[in-house]
Amino acid sequence: MEHPILTAIRRAGFTPLGWFAPARQDRVPHDARFVILIGNAGPDMFRRFARERDPCRDAMDDWTRDVVSDLAAGIDARALYPFDMNPPWPFLTWARRGGAGHVSPLGLNIHPTFGLWHAYRAALLFPVEFDIPAQRPGPHPCEACVEKPCLSACPANAFDGASYDVPACASHLASAAGSTCKTRGCLARHACPVGQGHAYAPAQAEFHMRAFLAARQKV
């Protein structure tokens, strides 16, 4: 039987992606005794967002803050967001502490179930530690992937296995040649065989690519 805290998170449309009891070196504030990372994995969270806001006009960060603050209040937690700090909170480091996967050649976290098709929207901090069995990330799937198609699928050659050329990605996405990436989503992610059953639907993929491009144009 699932822990009721995890069930409450799922009912709110989010996926619990990892959890851990923090140590001092984890830099988790507020004397938290337990951390649960939540976000999207597959379509559920985006479906709720699209029901409650207009994806063509509204920002997901604003919606996230509204709904997660309500969720946190109902389960006696405090929420931290990856878009709130500069420099940001170390969500990817926390993800690996929580057993949520490994670093992929794209620099993204690769989850054992969801592959590259997930994202962290908040960390819930609790004043007590829960008896939830630790997650295990399992073997690193990229180490057994000889061809690494993710590194050759990007038409902008934005990935080399060690770095991500963000300007090259954004420039391609803004061009006529980038229409497939813009409507289908990142082709490097699509090339990864892990978690393909959780790949974003076209509307969700296009929303995220449009948001990424808009953010780059503000830089």
- As a whole number of angstroms, the distance between CA 39 and CA 17 comes to 7
User: What's the Rg (C-alpha) of the chain?
Assistant: 17
Q: Which two three-digit tokens encode residue 8?
A: 């409450």
Note whether 12 and 35 are same-domain residues.
yes
Note whether 111 and 196 are same-domain residues.
no
Q: Among residues 126, 157, 174, which one ends one of the domains?
A: 126
- As a whole number of angstroms, the distance between CA 63 and CA 68 comes to 8
Domain hosting residue 191, numbered range: 141-218
Note whether 21 and 78 are same-domain residues.
yes
Mean pLDDT of 89-115: 94
Q: Which two three-digit tokens encode residue 82?
A: 């990856």
Q: Among residues 126, 157, 181, which one ends one of the domains?
A: 126
Backbone angles phi, psi at 202, to 5 degrees: -55, -40
Note whether 114 and 147 are same-domain residues.
no
Q: What angle do CA 189, 191, 196 make, to 5 degrees?
A: 75
pLDDT at residue 219, as a whole number: 64
Note whether 211 and 121 are same-domain residues.
no
Q: How confident is the model at residue 216 (pLDDT cuts 50, 70, 90)?
A: confident
- As a whole number of angstroms, the distance between CA 82 and CA 183 comes to 25
pLDDT at residue 44, as a whole number: 87
In a domain, 131, yes or no: no
pLDDT at residue 215, as a whole number: 86
Q: What is the 3-state secondary structure (H, E, C) of 109-171?
A: EEECCCECCEEEEEEEEECCCCCCCCCCCCCCHHHHCCCCHHHCCCCCCCECCCCECHHHHHH
Note whether 66 and 170 are same-domain residues.
no
Share of the chain above pLDDT 70, in %: 100
Q: Which two three-digit tokens encode residue 114?
A: 């969801």
24-63 pLDDT per residue, tens: 999 999 999 999 999 999 888 999 999 999 999 999 999 9
pLDDT at residue 31, as a whole number: 94
Note whether 187 and 104 are same-domain residues.
no
In a domain, 110, yes or no: yes
- As a whole number of angstroms, the distance between CA 210 and CA 192 comes to 22
Note whether 79 and 40 are same-domain residues.
yes
Q: How many domains does the chain have?
A: 2
Note whether 11 and 95 are same-domain residues.
yes
By C-alpha distance, which of 126, 113, 100, 98 is closest to 5? Answer: 126
Q: Among residues 102, 126, 150, which one ends one of the domains?
A: 126
Note whether 100 and 147 are same-domain residues.
no
pLDDT at residue 42, as a whole number: 81
145-204 pLDDT per residue, tens: 999 999 999 999 999 999 999 999 999 999 999 999 999 999 999 999 999 999 999 999
By C-alpha distance, which of 20, 17, 12 is closest to 69? Answer: 12
Q: Which residue has the tokens 């008896």?
A: 131
- As a whole number of angstroms, the distance between CA 215 and CA 210 comes to 9
State yes or no: pLDDT of 1 exceeds 90.
no
Residue type, 85: M
